[in-house]
């Protein structure tokens, strides 16, 4: 392989849906590799078998394909366990004094969180067990885990290629991290280093929440004699309140955004700009355009805000780029109506500029096939509707004639034109917001429009 070849990886765990932040990591890793004509690898990190959600792997594959993130190589971590690659690495660390057998009961998640909050580093009680003590426990049939033997009084550092700065740690504050569980499965800390080395990964992109684990990984790289890849930590995506975007605070699942009527290309474009900026003020990017313009110097150091209004704006832009026929096909999963295609193809041009998501189409246009209930009328609006009824009963049924006669009538009587047409809109569409009124009446037909006006005058 060419020593200059860039190889990146996206390494999700199949423990649920793909988070927006996960998609961002995948998009950036893909662009980094493909801009340099390198390889993009997908690696499913499923060594935590207890947390795996059935079907999650296939959903991950489907989502990546939906966004055009086609991988060059695919690996599943659990399928590599039987090769002995992780045990071999753990044994090397043991033999060279950089790891130790741990016979302690594993900490619970709450205990681990509490240790992190109190900033207490974890020096395992088994850290300094003698050879005799270890042999005695092994002879008694105890199944140990293997932990990293972190020295005290040393410093370790690296330069982050995303944050563009050097970060250092004193090893006194680095945990004796578990590397191999007693069941023989590697933990993330061992597997990620062994796999990245074995797969010749040159650039590691991951979320900022993995930064505290970096000194552990740097030590494992060092003790195994592996070359350290370039490592970059992406900034945290902030929710509108300023906190970190998380599953607990709302909907962040990529597949849910799609189900709610967002187009993949709009989500992709939005995600591209969540932590990366082009050299100019350009906003619209397809995946291929992003790859072409990608520059690692564009990574931002400040935390981006998840601006839902901006996502809606992007979605509206992409919706309006679709042909009416394309939009009809995209709308089908979101339509409950039995309206036929010819009718829908008449309606779509009127609604296209008024919707931000596919899911908004039916509520906005339902009045075309479902007559709205009569509106409560006051005397003024009844007068407006009676006037409109008289005009529409005899006017030529075309846009110019309808608009001219209605406007002239309202003006001649000194009526508020906005109030006049709003009364008409409410009677015909049942809502203050609808596609253009005259065009809607033409689709409904003269007989139906007159019937709706009469219904509201009864």
CB 358 within 8 Å of CB 259: no
Closest CA to 71 of 46, 36, 42, 45: 42
Q: Which of 143, 247, 301, 399 is catalytic?
A: 247
**DSSP string across 223-256:** HHTPPPPEEEEEPPPBPTTSSBP-GGGS--BHHH
Burial label, 60 (beta-carbon count in 10 A; 0-12, 13-18, 19+): buried
The helix or strand, by DSSP H or E, that contains position 204, with its residue range, turns out to be strand 203-207
Q: CA gyration radius for the chain?
A: 31
How far apart (Å, rounded) are the C-alpha atoms in residues 245 and 154? 35
How far apart (Å, rounded) are the C-alpha atoms in residues 71 and 307? 29
How far apart (Å, rounded) are the C-alpha atoms in residues 306 and 243? 10
CB 226 within 8 Å of CB 28: no
> Binding residue per annotation — 181?
no
Closest CA to 449 of 458, 440, 457: 440
Q: Verify whether residue 446 is a known catalytic residue.
A: no
- Binding residue numbers: 247
**Catalytic residues, which ones?**
247
- Binding residue numbers for ATP: 247
């Amino acid at each position: 392989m060419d020593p200059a070849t860039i190889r990146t990886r996206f390494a999700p765990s199949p423990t649920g849906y793909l988070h927006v932040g996960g998609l961002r990591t995948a998009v950036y890793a893909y662009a980094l590799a493909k801009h340099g004509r390198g390889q993009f690898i997908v690696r499913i990190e499923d060594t935590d078998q207890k947390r795996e959600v059935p079907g999650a792997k296939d959903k991950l594959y489907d989502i990546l394909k939906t966004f055009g993130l086609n991988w060059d190589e695919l690996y599943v971590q659990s399928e590599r366990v039987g090769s002995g690659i992780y045990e071999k690495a753990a044994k090397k660390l043991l033999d060279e004094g950089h790891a130790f057998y741990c016979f302690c009961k594993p900490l619970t998640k709450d205990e681990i969180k509490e240790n992190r909050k109190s900033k207490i580093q974890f020096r395992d009680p088994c850290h300094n067990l003698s050879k005799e003590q270890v042999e005695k426990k092994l002879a008694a049939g105890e199944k140990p885990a293997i932990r990293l033997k972190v020295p005290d009084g040393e410093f370790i550092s690296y330069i982050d290629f995303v944050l563009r700065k050097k970060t250092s740690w004193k090893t006194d504050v680095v945990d004796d991290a578990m590397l191999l569980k007693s069941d023989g499965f590697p933990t993330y800390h061992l597997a990620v280093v062994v796999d990245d080395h074995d797969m010749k990964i040159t650039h590691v992109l991951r979320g900022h929440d993995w930064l505290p684990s970096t000194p552990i990984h740097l030590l494992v790289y060092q003790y195994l004699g592996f070359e350290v890849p370039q490592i970059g930590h992406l900034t945290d995506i902030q929710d509108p309140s300023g906190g970190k975007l998380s599953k607990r605070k709302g909907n962040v699942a990529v597949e849910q955004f799609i189900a709610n009527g967002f187009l993949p290309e709009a989500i992709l474009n939005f995600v591209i700009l969540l932590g990366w900026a082009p050299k100019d003020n350009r906003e619209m990017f397809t995946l291929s355009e992003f790859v072409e313009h990608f520059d690692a110097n564009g990574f931002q150091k400040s935390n981006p805000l998840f601006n839902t209004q901006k996502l809606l704006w992007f979605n509206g832009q992409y919706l309006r780029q679709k042909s009416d026929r394309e939009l009809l096909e995209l709308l089908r999963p979101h339509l409950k109506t039995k309206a036929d295609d010819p009718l829908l193809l008449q309606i779509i041009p009127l609604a296209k500029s008024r919707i931000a998501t596919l899911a908004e189409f039916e509520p906005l246009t339902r009045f075309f096939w479902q007559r709205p209930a009569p509106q409560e009328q006051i005397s003024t609006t009844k007068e407006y509707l009676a006037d409109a009824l008289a005009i529409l009963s005899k006017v030529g049924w075309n846009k110019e004639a309808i608009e001219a006669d209605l406007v002239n009538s309202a003006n001649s009587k000194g009526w508020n034109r906005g109030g006049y047409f709003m009364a008409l809109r409410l009677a015909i569409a049942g809502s203050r917001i609808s596609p253009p009124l005259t065009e809607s009446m033409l689709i409904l037909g003269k007989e139906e429009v007159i019937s709706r006006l009469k219904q509201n005058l009864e």
